[in-house]
Amino acid sequence: MFKQIQAFIIILPFVAFANEGQGSLHEKRMERQKEVVQVKSNVMKFCDEKPIPKQLINNDELKYNNLRACYGKGLKHDSTGFINKESFHSLIAALNSNTPEKFEEIHIGEGGRKLKNPQGALPFSLAANDGWINTIKPAPEFHSAETASEMVELYWSVFARDTPFNGFERDPTVALAVKELNKLSDFRGPKERGKVTPTTFLRGMTKGDLIGPYISQFHYQTIPTGIFMQSPMQPVPVAGRTNDYLVTFEDWFKVINGGVTGEKTKFNKNKHFIRTPRDLAEFVHRDYPGQVFFNALLLLHSYGSEALDSNNPYLSSQNQDGFVSFGLPHALELLAEAIEESLKASWYQKWEVNRRLRPEEFGFYLQKQLVDQQPMGIHEDLLQSSVLEKIFDIYGSYLLPQAYPEGSPIHPSYPAGHATVAGACATILKAFFNENTMVRAPIKPDITNTRLIPYNGMLMVGDELNKLAFNEALGRDHAGVHFRSDSTEGIYLGEKVAIDVLESNAFLNAENFKGFNLTKFDGTKIKIGGAKPPITTP
């Protein structure tokens, strides 16, 4: 008994200590809950105070009785190829109602393919401001010189689909395309000293796009994925007209009315790295949202701490590394949030604001004007282009040849979803990592495009991320499913969304954080998330 009492006396202080610790933990959790409420209130207040800019539209939807400037793919079409008005108005009624039941009453085309998530324009957001708050320019008008120039570029790009990027400067067809693009009254692609050149042909709009190979290093480098190494080799389509689609009215009408032709992309037997616009177009045909940016993140993470943004708080810590915060999981979280939020913003612009037609739809109206002599109000810059004669001679129509058997996806054109995601993801990675880090062991295709060889020059991470964003966006243009402005404005919209995500996320950090450094796509340098209000609990 004495030993039992002695043991009890010895244990008693520990029990008391444990009970005291339990109470202390509970009190700490209660205080934490108050802090959580305050932090979330701070985020909400920050978002609530953001100015709401006016969203402008081009009013094309009201200009044309036959709805020729409007997106209609997947809706019912009359036998002449024009959008069925009752079907279009059923879409507008659903969008104006904001009720799920009304969306089930949309009259889709006879082919039966479903519209791609028009209700995706409506979700709310917690990770950042709601997508609708970020505006973009109105879509270029149907009859404008800008739209005409974009179609001229798309028709010429058909003839460049199988030309290697590193062969543009020697290719006679590219030379003809460049000559004609320089004659257009409102072409807004990249230029050197005010002129389109073979070096700028089909490239993106940033300084980094014009440095080094056309394709970003994040497509060419081998990516470390755990214990596996991901090669840049991919299935590539067979070159030539065998992989150009929807050039007859019968095929076009079947697809525009929500059906399929049954044709499939033909592939080479052997895999290859990306060499041509067709190769790139096929990559962005099959990828999932943000795929190459997750690859870029893994590659940059493998560089170690020297590649991190200079304001990462753990670069100066003597006894800690970042992981849950300011480490790989944090970057993965930011990328995932940027993808979802950028798609919400893009879908809002597509369905609620612009409803711009797809290039394959525009090609039909060009066909109606040139073949059927029905005036469509198309700008002279396109009507006078020499590329149209080449298109008609080879394909027998003025329809825009598509690189995908199904043509474009079944959602409006402006802005491009791929582009918006790309702009958002590139912005996250430029914030998280040091843009002035040099890409290790840069590579390029050899002159024969049979292997990748060392690139003799310096390529910076920031430039290559910008290039990657435009690779992802313009690859869809090369397929004929988007206009250039869809891509450019989509990238700029994605950047705005990513900045919102980063600013909101900065409220959640426990560390002393000075803010991410970032260079925007237009070259402006900014700092994000460097000043958050203190937590003040009642």
DSSP 223: E
d(CA 476, CA 465): 18
* pLDDT band with cut points at 50, 70 and 90 for residue 19: low
* Assigned token pair, 258: 């929500």
C-alpha to C-alpha distances, 399 to 228, 413, 416, 479, 532, nearest whole angstrom = 44, 17, 21, 14, 54
Rounded to an integer, the average pLDDT of 416-436 is: 98
The predicted-structure confidence for 480-533, as pLDDT tens digits, reads as follows 999 999 999 999 999 999 999 999 999 998 999 999 999 999 999 999 987 655
pTM for the full predicted model: 0.94
> Is 208:464 a contact under the CB 8 Å cutoff?
yes
* Average pLDDT value for the chain: 94
- Quick one: how many helices (H) and strands (E) in the chain? 17, 6
> Is 293:426 a contact under the CB 8 Å cutoff?
yes
* pLDDT band with cut points at 50, 70 and 90 for residue 127: confident
CATH superfamily of domain region 60-511: Vanadium-containing Chloroperoxidase, domain 2 (1.10.606.10)
d(CA 398, CA 360): 10
The predicted-structure confidence for 279-314, as pLDDT tens digits, reads as follows 999 999 999 999 999 999 999 999 999 999 999 999
Question: 330 pLDDT exceeds 90?
Answer: yes
Phi, psi of 516 (to 5 degrees): -75, 140
| CA dihedral sign of residues 374, 379, 380, 384 | negative
Question: 417 pLDDT exceeds 70?
Answer: yes
pLDDT for res 533: 52
Angle CA 380–384–389, to nearest 5: 140
Q: Which of 4-8, 227-231, 317-321 has the lowest mean pLDDT?
A: 4-8
* pLDDT band with cut points at 50, 70 and 90 for residue 44: confident
Written as one letter, the residue type at 252 is: W
pLDDT for res 21: 67
- Percentage of the chain modeled with pLDDT above 90: 86
Give residues with Cβ within 8 angstroms of 517, minimum separation 6: 309, 310, 311, 431, 435, 525, 526, 527
- In sequence order, what DSSP letters do the residues of 315-332 get, joined into one string? GS-SS---BTTBSHHHHH
d(CA 534, CA 511): 12
Q: Is the peptide bond before 415 cis (omega within 30 degrees of 0)?
A: yes
Question: 250 pLDDT exceeds 80?
Answer: yes
User: Using H for helix, E for strand and C for coil, what is the string for 448-477?
Assistant: CCCCEEECCCCCEHHHHHHHHHHHHHHHHH
Question: 422 pLDDT exceeds 90?
Answer: yes
Rounded to an integer, the average pLDDT of 366-381 is: 98
pLDDT for res 47: 84
The predicted-structure confidence for 77-96, as pLDDT tens digits, reads as follows 999 999 999 999 999 999 99
Q: Which residues are 453's β-sheet partners?
A: 444
Spans of all domains in the chain: 60-511
Total Cβ atoms within 10 A of residue 173? 14
Cα dihedral: 355, 356, 357, 359 (round 10): -150
d(CA 85, CA 62): 13
d(CA 236, CA 275): 9
* pLDDT band with cut points at 50, 70 and 90 for residue 16: very low
Rounded to an integer, the average pLDDT of 171-192 is: 98
Question: 537 pLDDT exceeds 90?
Answer: no
* pLDDT band with cut points at 50, 70 and 90 for residue 14: very low
Q: Which of 128-142, 382-396, 441-455 has the lowest mean pLDDT?
A: 128-142
Phi, psi of 62 (to 5 degrees): -95, -10
- 429 versus 31: which is more confidently predicted? 429
Give residues with Cβ within 8 angstroms of 28, minimum separation 6: none
pLDDT for res 380: 98
- Percentage of the chain modeled with pLDDT above 70: 94
Question: 11 pLDDT exceeds 50?
Answer: no
